Chain A
Amino acid sequence: MEQSTRPLEGLKVVELSIAIAAPSCGRMLAYFGADVMKLESLQYPDVVRLFGSAWARTPEYAAVFTDTSPYLPEMNANKRSIGLNLKVAAAVDAAKKLVANADVFLTNYSTPAVTDLGLDAATLRELNPRLIYAALPAFGSDPSLPYYPFISWGPNQAPLVGLDAVTGFPDQEPAGVASFAPPDYFAGLHALMAVLTALEARDQTGEGSWVDLSQFGTTVAALGPYLLDEQLSGTVVERTGNRSAWYAPQGVYPSRGEDRWVAVSVTDDAAWQGLAAVLDLAGPAATGGDNGFAADAGLATAEGRRAQHDRLDAALVAWSSGRSAAQAAVELQAVGVAAHPVNDTEAMLVDPQLAEYRWYQAVPSFRFPDGDLVGGCALRLEDTPGYWEWAFPTMGEHTTEALASVAGLSEAEIAELVEQGAAYVPAEPELTLHRPYQHMLGLLGLKGAPR
C-alpha cells in the first residue's frame, strides 16, 4: 500500500519538557508526523533519562547511560533530540531561532523556570506571532494564584486531585494510585486537544495563541459528578474497592495460581442471567451453595443484586478460584458478561488484542539499531495512520541538522556552539547497544517494520 501522508507532516514543534505530561503529548504529535524537536540538556537531563538500565551502570557505558533508559521510547519515540545547554546565552539564542521557525512550543517546565531561561510566552510570541505556546505547569501560569510557586509532579498530583482518596477498600487506608501517574497522561491528552484546537484557530485567524493548562485543574474535573454531589447534598464519595455505584455484581475475583485475578462486571440484567446460569450450572460444590440464582426474582435487578453483593461475591470467589483467569473470562464472555484477566505486565506482552494491533513493536534507534521496544498509540486512524520511525533519539542526535535546517545556523556557528559547551552532539557515536531481551524479539513477534 502506498504510504499515506500523516496529518501533521510539516508541523514543527519545539518541546522543552520533563517526565511524562508534555512528552506524552509531543509523542502523539510525532506519531502523526510532526517534527518534534526536544531540547535536552546534558547537565540537567530529563528525569526519564536518569532511570537508565540497571545493566548499563558500568564504567564502559557511563558516557551513554542516559541513552539506555527503557522509559525513553515510551515518552519520546519519533522525536528529535536537540542538545542545548540553556544556561548559556548562545544556546538560548539558538533555541529562539528554532522557535522562530516553529509552529508550536510545548513545555511543562514551571513558569518561573521558562521565564528565567527567557523562553516565556510573551517573549516567544513576540518573536513568532503564529506560534502556539502550550504550557502545562502544575498550577497554571498566573503568579497571583495561591499555589503558583508550588512544586508538583505526576505521582503526587494523583493525591492532590482527589484520585487517591477514592482508590482502595473502604475498610482500610487509601491504596492510592501509587505505581503510575494518571494525571500526567490525562494532562497530556488535554494538551493534545489544546494544541490541535489552537492550530484550528490559527488556520481561521492566522494568529497563534497561548495555551495555559493547569495539570491540577484537568484531573480534578474527572471527579465532576461527585464534586456536584458534595456541593448539592454534602455527600463525600467514599472508597468502594472494585464495586460500582450502578453495576452489580462487580469485582476482582481470585483465580488459579499465585496472585491471579479476573475482573467481572455485570453491566445489565441480561448479563446477570448469563452469570446466574453459569453459577447455577456449576452447582453447589463450585459455588459454595445451592444458589438458584437464575430463578431468584430478588436478583433480577441491579438494586436487588447490590443488596446481596456479599453473597454473590462469595459464590463468584468459589467459582473463579478453581479456574484460570483466562478460562473464567472466556466462560463469562460466552454468556455476555464483561470479564477479563487482570493483566500483569508479562500478560500485556502476550495479550491477544494488543498483539493483534501490534501495540508493542521493536523499532530501531541510533543507539539500538536492532530495535528497541515502543508501546503503542491508541489513536487508530484507518486511512492516515500514525507510525513509529525510530524508538527514541540519542542525546543530541539531531543538534547539528536541526540547528542548520530549522534555525538556519552555519556549520561554523554550530561547531562554535559545540566547542563552547552550549550545544551537544552524541557521545561515542560508534557505540551501539543491545537489550538483554534482544534475542527474544523474533520469538515474541515484535520484530519487523512498524505498521
Chain B
Amino acid sequence: MNPPSFPAPTTGAQPWAGLKVVERDGLCSSYATRLWAALGAEVVVLEPPGGHAYRHLPPFAPGTGEPEGSLWWAFLAQNKRSVVIEPGSDTEQALLAAADVVFDEPAPPVVAPSPRHDRQVYVAITPFGLRGPRANWRGSDLVAWAAAGLSYVTGFPDRPPVALSSMNFASHVTAMQALGAAMMALFARKQTGRGQLVDLSMQQANAALHPEVGVPLVLDDAVHRGRSGNRRAVSRPWGLYPCTDGYASVIIVQPAHWMNMAAWLVEVTGVEALADPAFNDMAVRWEAAEFIDAMTEQLTSEMSKQDLFVEGQRRNIPITPVNTVADLSRDPHLEASGFWVDADHPVIGPHRSPGAPFSGGPDWWSWTRAPLLGEHTDEVLASWTAWS
C-alpha cells in the first residue's frame, strides 16, 4: 500500500523510530510529544538558555527547584532530548531545517509560519488560530476553556463558571489534537511527497469537547444550557453524592441499571415506592428529583466511595468514586495493569509516572526520564547538522 512515512531504520522497531521532531518552547504540545517520543519519534526540545517554560512551574520535587525539579517537566519531558539553543541563532535554524515535524507556539504578532523545507510538517499552535480578527489575542488554559464554551457550563449556578485551570487540561487536549494533525499530515506526505502547515487553534481544539451542550442542540430545542452544579439537569440519580470519605458518582440512564439501583435503595431505605415501574423512565425520575436524590443520599452517605464503587458495580449499577490523586496512586486496577513506569532522575530521584495509554505491538513503547537542561545539545547538534 503506502511507503513508510520516513526512512525507518529496521522493520519491527518502534513505529515512529527515525522520525525527527522539534518542539519549540510552549505549553501546548508537550503532553502529546511525550507519547510520540515513547513510540520512537526522536523529539528534540529546543530550550532557551533559561530553560523551557515547564521547568519553571510548580510543583517541584521536595528539596529541589528550577530548572530540574519541576514535576511538570519531569512528567512532560520524558523520553525527549534537551537542546539548549539561543532563539534566532543559525544553529537553531539548522535544527529546525533538519526536522520532519515542528511544533511551534508563535507569540503575537503572528506572521503565518511556513515549513522550512518541502517535506516538513509545521504545526503552529496559537490560542485562536492564525487568521481572523482575534488571531493576535493572547490565551491561557483558562481562556481556552472560556472561549470553547466549556467554562460556562461548569460549576454551580450561583457561583462563577470554573475550569480545570490548575491542570493545564485544555493544553493537553490541544496537544493531542496537534499530534493527530501532525500524523495526518505525515500520511498526506506519503501521497504527495510534501509536508504542509497545520493551523491548530487552542479554542477549536477544546470546542471539539462541546457537543453535549453544543450549538446544534441548543438551536434545535431552544433551551439555554447553564451550570447545574455537580448533578446534570437531565435525570436522577445523575451526579455526585456524598459518602463517608468524600463523594461517589451515580449516573443512571438505562432502565436495567435503575432497576438494580431501585432494588438496592429499597433494601437500604425500606421505601417500597422506589420499585414502582414508573421510575424506570428517566424523565419521571427527573420530575421526582428531590425524592430520588434524598433516597440516593441516604444510601451513599453510609458507605465509603470505594465500597460504593465495588458493591454498586457488583450489582450492575454504574457507580464510580470521586478519586483524588492519592486514591489513584493506590488504585488496584492501575497497579495490576502495569500502568506505571519507573524512572530514576539525578535530581528528583526514583519516581513512577503514568505509562502507555494503549497497548499495541510488543516493541512499541519505551520510557526514559526527563532530560537535564541541555543534556543532549552536543549529541543532537553532531548527528542532526553534521551534513549541513
Interface residues of B in 1-52 (CB under 8 A from A): 1-5, 8, 11-12, 15-16, 31-32, 35-36, 39
* Chain B binding surface, main DSSP class: mixed
A178 and B323 form a contact (CB under 8 A): no
Nearest B residue to A349, CB-CB: B215
Residues facing A in B193-239 (CB within 8 A) are: 194, 196-201, 203-205, 207-222, 224-232, 238-239
Is the pair A185, B137 in contact by a Cβ cutoff of 8 Å?
no
Q: Provided the pairs A151-B313, A357-B201, A378-B205 are in contact, do residues A140 and B142 lie with their beta carbons within 8 angstroms?
A: no
Q: Could you say which residues of chain A place their CB within 8 Å of the CB of B5?
A: 200, 203
Closest chain B CB from A67 CB (angstroms): 13
A408 interfacial contact with B, CB 8 Å: no
Report chain A residues within 8 Å CB of B289: none
Determine if B163 and A356 form an interchain contact, defined as CB atoms under 8 angstroms apart: no
Contact A252 B142, beta carbon cutoff 8 Å: yes
A98 interface hit (Cβ, 8 Å) = no
Query: Is B212 a contact partner of A181 (Cβ separation < 8 A)?
Result: yes
Q: Is the CB of A375 within 8 A of B215?
A: yes
User: Contact between A271 and B138 (Cβ–Cβ < 8 Å)?
Assistant: yes
Question: Are A167 and B162 neighbours in the complex by a CB distance under 8 Å?
Answer: yes
Residues A409-442 near B (CB distance < 8 A): 435-437, 440
Smallest beta-carbon distance B210→chain A, Å: 7
Per-position contact with A for B316-331: 1 when CB-CB < 8 Å, else 0? 1011111111111100
Q: Is the CB of B357 within 8 A of A217?
A: yes
How many angstroms between the C-alpha atoms of A70 and B187 in the bound complex?
Answer: 32
Residues of B within 8 A of A220 (CB): 328, 334, 339, 354
- In the assembled complex, the Cα of A356 lies from the Cα of B339 at a distance in Å of 42
CA distance A54 to B217 in the complex (A): 10
Stretch of B94-102, B245-253, B292-300 on the interface side:
B245-253
- Asked if A182 is an interface residue, CB under 8 A from chain B, the answer is yes
Closest residue of A by beta carbon distance from B170? A182
Stretch of A82-90, A153-161, A396-404 lying at the B interface? A153-161
Inter-chain contact A227/B224, CB cutoff 8 Å: no
**Residues in chain B near residue A217, CB distance under 8 A:** 334, 337, 339, 354, 357
- B58 cross-chain contacts in A, Cβ below 8 A: 245-246
A-side interface residues, number (CB < 8 Å): 159
A227 & B211 in contact (Cβ 8 Å cutoff): no
Contact: A337 with B138, CB < 8 Å? yes
Interface majority SS (helix, strand, loop, mixed), chain A: mixed
Task: Report if B191 contacts A (CB, 8 A).
Answer: yes
Distance in angstroms from A350 CB to nearest chain B CB is: 10
Residues of A within 8 A of B133 (CB): 352-353, 356
Chain A residue contacts of B259, Cβ below 8 A = none
Number of interface residues of B (CB under 8 A): 159
**Are A70's CB and B216's CB within 8 A?**
yes
Contact with B along A237-275 (1 / 0, CB 8 A): 100111111110011111000010111110100010000
Interface flags, A51-80, vs B, CB<8A=1, else 0? 001110000000000000011011100000
Question: Residue-by-residue, is B121-164 near A (CB-CB < 8 Å gives 1, otherwise 0)?
Answer: 00000011101111101111111011111111111100111111
CB-defined contacts of A144 to chain B, threshold 8 Å: 336
Contact between chains at B357 and A190 (CB < 8 Å): yes
A241 close to B162 (CB less than 8 A): yes
CA distance A340 to B71 in the complex (A): 29
Contact between chains at B150 and A180 (CB < 8 Å): yes
Question: Are the C-beta atoms of A228 and B353 separated by less than 8 Å?
Answer: yes
Min CB gap B107→A, angstroms: 10
Q: How far is the CB of B128 from chain A (nearest CB, A)?
A: 5
Judged by a CB distance under 8 angstroms, whether B84 is at the interface is no
> In the complex the two chains form, is A159's CB within 8 Å of B204's CB?
no
Chain B nearest Cβ from A79, distance in angstroms: 15
Q: Does B373 contact A (CB under 8 A)?
A: no
User: If A189-B176, A375-B214, A436-B220 touch, does A352 touch B134 (CB 8 Å cutoff)?
Assistant: yes
Hey, which chain A residues are within 8 Å of B162, CB to CB? 167-169, 175, 241-242, 252
Task: Assess whether B333 is in contact with A147, with CB atoms less than 8 Å apart.
Answer: yes
Q: Are B146 and A340 in contact (CB under 8 A)?
A: yes
Assuming the contacts A220-B339, A230-B325, asked whether A381 and B185 have C-beta atoms less than 8 A apart, the reply is yes
Pairs A–B under 8 Å by Cβ, sample size 26: A5-B191, A7-B190, A162-B325, A163-B169, A167-B162, A175-B229, A179-B213, A196-B180, A196-B183, A210-B359, A221-B357, A224-B71, A229-B325, A236-B325, A250-B142, A250-B165, A252-B142, A345-B153, A357-B204, A359-B204, A372-B216, A379-B180, A380-B129, A381-B181, A383-B188, A384-B188
Interface stretch of the complex, out of B72-80, B268-276, B376-384: B72-80
A354: CB under 8 A from chain B? yes
Measured CB to CB, the nearest residue on chain B to A379 is B181
Q: Given A217-B339, A225-B75, A245-B59 in contact, is the A156-B184 Cβ separation under 8 Å?
A: no
- Report yes or no: A224 in contact with B353, Cβ–Cβ below 8 A: yes
- Note all chain A residues with C-beta closer than 8 A to B329: 227, 230-231
